[in-house]
């Protein structure tokens, strides 16, 4: 029997870290949020506070991850996995809004650490650039898996505390599968020449960081409020299914955007990605109703992790000519965009009592990023 190549085994381990820290720890809340509101565990304002705390925690985690280095990245991965599982389980035993907000803030810290550490470990320490699409596909897989687990468990009669506990246990099991690979002392390997981009480009660090921040602002309104929009427009549809579509679109898209990155280069592939994502973000405004929401979930889900798949390896290349931990700096600006997005959405919603304005603003930010990709990188 032919053994799996080392890069594939390492990419699977890193993808599991992403699935736990991002798919479960960060985005499972989107699927559970409507359940918690319906059960009276959270109010709409309390839920928004918890979401904002998570984004703020992501910012703090990005700052902490600046200290991560390739050789020690595996330890940060282990902390992220264990911390995420603990945060998920804690939400099963608390019901005070302030406590939920605090735990969601801590979960955001571990999500950012998982993003930076898994990227550093695979792309820098293990030097497996060809594993990038599988690494970032882990986020979409985690989103889809956690959403469908929520649907199934809810149908079996579990309320939100039981749902959170279930997600914590599953996260711990998945993390256990990744531990042996993360803790191995195998030496880093040189990537094969076939894994190098055919159109290697030298991109500028500052414009790339700025574009990444715009991307964080652009996708977050859809990622935060889509299930609530669906719940309002289609009360007979379980919004978690639509969120699962978001995740299912994200997982395979990483491979598509990686392929386009190799073929078109960073500038053009990133511009195409952000332009298509902008259309997906504003689609509910152009086509309100079930079809528009489902198409938006597919388009935004199918592009937002593609942005990461393109930008993070490009940053890894640019880091050779930049000071500091560029991957952490990218995550930092992304988190700032994610914090500003919901704040802007809340302000615009208070004026118009609609999310249309915030969706248009988010789409506009993505279009600016697409133009900068062609003009400034």
What's the pLDDT tens digit per position in 159-199? 999 999 999 999 999 999 999 988 876 555 555 444 444 44
Angle between helices 132-155 and 28-38 (to 10 degrees): 20
Alpha carbons 233 and 240: distance in angstroms, whole number: 14
pLDDT above 60 for 26: yes
pLDDT at position 361 is 93
Each residue of 117-155: pLDDT tens digit? Answer: 998 899 888 888 788 889 989 998 999 899 889 989 998
Q: Which residues contact 66 (CB under 8 A, 6 or more apart)?
A: 324, 325, 328, 329, 332
Alpha carbons 363 and 368: distance in angstroms, whole number: 9
Indicate the pTM of the whole model. Answer: 0.82
Pair 178, 199: CB distance under 8 Å: no
Q: Of 132, 107, 5, 44, which is closest to residue 355 (Cα–Cα)?
A: 44
Alpha carbons 182 and 72: distance in angstroms, whole number: 10
Alpha carbons 13 and 111: distance in angstroms, whole number: 16
pLDDT at position 248 is 83
Each residue of 247-256: pLDDT tens digit? Answer: 888 888 989 9
Q: What number is the average pLDDT over the span 255-261?
A: 92
Alpha carbons 118 and 21: distance in angstroms, whole number: 10
pLDDT above 90 for 236: no
Tokens (6 digits) for 297:
């979930």
Helix, strand, coil proportions of the chain in percent (round to 5)? 80, 0, 20
- Residue 289: left if φ>0, alpha if ψ -120 to 50, beta else—which one? left
User: pLDDT averaged over the chain?
Assistant: 86
Length of the chain: 377
Check residues 294 and 5 and name the one with the higher pLDDT: 294
């Amino acid at each position: 029997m032919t053994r799996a190549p080392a890069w594939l085994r390492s990419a699977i381990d890193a993808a599991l870290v992403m699935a736990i820290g991002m798919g479960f720890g960060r985005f499972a809340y989107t699927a559970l949020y409507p359940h918690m509101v319906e059960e009276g565990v959270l109010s709409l304002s309390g839920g928004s506070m918890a979401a904002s705390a998570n984004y703020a925690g992501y910012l703090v985690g990005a700052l902490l991850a600046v200290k991560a280095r390739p050789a020690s990245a595996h330890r940060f991965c282990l902390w992220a996995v264990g911390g995420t599982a603990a945060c998920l389980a804690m939400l099963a035993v608390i019901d005070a809004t302030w406590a939920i907000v605090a735990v969601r803030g801590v979960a955001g810290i571990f999500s950012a650490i998982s993003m930076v550490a898994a990227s550093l470990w695979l792309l820098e320490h293990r030097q497996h650039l060809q594993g990038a699409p599988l690494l970032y596909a882990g986020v979409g897989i985690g989103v889809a898996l956690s959403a469908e687990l929520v649907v199934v468990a809810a149908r079996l009669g579990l309320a939100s505390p039981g749902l959170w506990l279930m997600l914590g246990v599953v996260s711990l099991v998945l993390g256990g599968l990744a531990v042996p690979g993360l803790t191995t002392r195998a030496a880093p390997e040189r990537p094969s020449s076939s894994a190098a981009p055919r159109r290697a480009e030298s991109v500028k660090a500052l414009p790339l960081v700025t574009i990444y921040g715009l991307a964080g602002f652009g996708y977050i309104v859809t990622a935060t409020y889509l299930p609530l929009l669906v719940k309002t427009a289609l009360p007979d549809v379980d919004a978690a299914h639509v969120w699962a579509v978001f995740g299912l679109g994200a997982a395979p898209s990483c491979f598509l955007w990686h392929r386009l990155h190799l073929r078109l280069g960073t500038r053009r592939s990133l511009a195409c990605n952000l332009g298509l994502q902008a259309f997906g973000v504003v689609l509910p405004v152009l086509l309100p109703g079930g079809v528009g929401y489902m198409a938006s979930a597919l388009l935004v889900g199918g592009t937002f992790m593609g942005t990461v798949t393109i930008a993070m390896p490009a940053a890894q290349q640019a880091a050779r000519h930049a000071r500091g931990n560029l991957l952490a700096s990218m995550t930092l600006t992304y988190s700032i965009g994610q914090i500003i997005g919901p704040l802007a959405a809340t302000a615009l919603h208070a004026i118009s009592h609609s999310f249309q304005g915030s969706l248009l603003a988010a789409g506009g930010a993505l279009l600016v990023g697409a133009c900068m990709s062609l003009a400034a990188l």
